[in-house]
Amino acid sequence: MIELNQLRCFVAVAEELHFGRAAKRLFMTQPPLSRQIQLLEHALGARLLERSNRHVSLTASGSAFLRDARMILEFTGQAQETVKRVEKGEMGRLMMGFTAVSGYWQIPQIIALATQKLPAITLILKEMVSSAQLQALAARTLDIGFVRQPVPLFPLAYQCVLREPLCVALPPASPLAAKARLRVRDFAGLPFIMYSATEGKYFYDCVAGIFAGANVVPHYVQHCSQTHTILGLVRAGVGLAIVPDSARHLGFPGLEFRPLSHPDAIAEIYMAWRQDSDTPALSAFRQLVTAHSAAFLKQSRRQEKS
């Protein structure tokens, strides 16, 4: 059986063409070096070196084998480096889930930063509703997810990484467009496009809770699961809507957005992962997201107080 140390010894002698210099280069004495070459030649069944008291040269077999020996050592070195980088979390692959609305702005920012700071970590993106992400994390088909609401489920852990205000989407022709900021009571009796209670449960619960707390009852004309569909209906003049502020980044023409004055008009995104994950890249990615989100959370809290 050929051993890597035998290859290192052979390459050193083949490049130096001198056992003394090769032994010094390898920090060993000449007798064990000669023994390693003999063992290698025996394993190959071929003579690799012609040697005399004053001269060392490669045989035809030795010249051919030198190319392969160098390549094997190079690949071995690369493999060792890859293992070290994977172990440190500098390299790897992560299956990442995210909700559709978070993909409008926040998640692309995180992906762009990870591409820059962690270029050897490959992110496989999966657009999924929060409940599906949690199921996938439990089944180990996701490594990390970005969900709207944490659900106590061992061994999942959560960290709030993004907060954004809810705002009002309305057509320019709406009488409410004249106001710089809207209040919940402004919606009383007006046609309103609501999120679906099933597919859009998180935002449905947020908006319904805001209306219930203010004892305001809009006129619900449609229920939709996707924010871009809701914005399309608003643009068509079907009704008003309350959407996350990131919806502005969709760039819908013919729409106005106004801040909503209410302490609970806030949407959050939580990073979710398994506490028992043994994927080193996950820790590095989490640290990157945590550092990146700190500035956004600080800015969000300032906006909430203003």
- Chain-wide mean pLDDT for the chain? 90
Cα separation, 93 vs 113, in Å, equals 16
The radius of gyration of the chain from alpha carbons, rounded to an integer in Å, stands at 32
Fold designation for 4-88: Arc Repressor Mutant, subunit A (1.10.10)
Residue 305 has what pLDDT? 56
Cα separation, 18 vs 5, in Å, equals 18
pLDDT tens column, 38-95:
999 999 999 999 987 778 999 999 999 999 999 998 988 887 776 776 666 667 899 9
Residue 104 has what pLDDT? 79
- As annotated, the residues of the chain forming the CATH 3.40.190.10 domain(s) are 92-162+267-305, 165-266
Residue 304 has what pLDDT? 55
**Across 235-254, average pLDDT:** 92
**Across 277-282, average pLDDT:** 88
Cα separation, 166 vs 99, in Å, equals 16
For residue 279, is pLDDT > 90? no
For residue 125, is pLDDT > 90? yes
Fold designation for 92-162+267-305: D-Maltodextrin-Binding Protein; domain 2 (3.40.190)
- As annotated, the residues of the chain forming the CATH 1.10.10.10 domain(s) are 4-88
Identify the band that residue 33 occupies on the pLDDT scale cut at 50, 70 and 90.
very high
Distant-in-sequence, close-in-space partners of 301: CB < 8 Å, separation ≥ 6: 163
User: In the CATH scheme, what is the code of domain 165-266?
Assistant: 3.40.190.10
Measured between its terminal Cα atoms, the distance across the chain in Å is 74
pLDDT tens column, 141-167:
999 999 998 988 889 999 999 889 999
Alpha carbons within 13 A on the beta-carbon side of 50: 7
pTM for the model: 0.70
For residue 253, count CB atoms less than 10 angstroms from its CB and return exposed for 0-12, middle for 13-18, buried for 19 or more: exposed
**Across 7-33, average pLDDT:** 91
Report the sign of the C-alpha dihedral through residues 277, 282, 284, 290, in that order: negative
82-86, 157-161, 279-283, 297-301: range with lowest mean pLDDT: 297-301
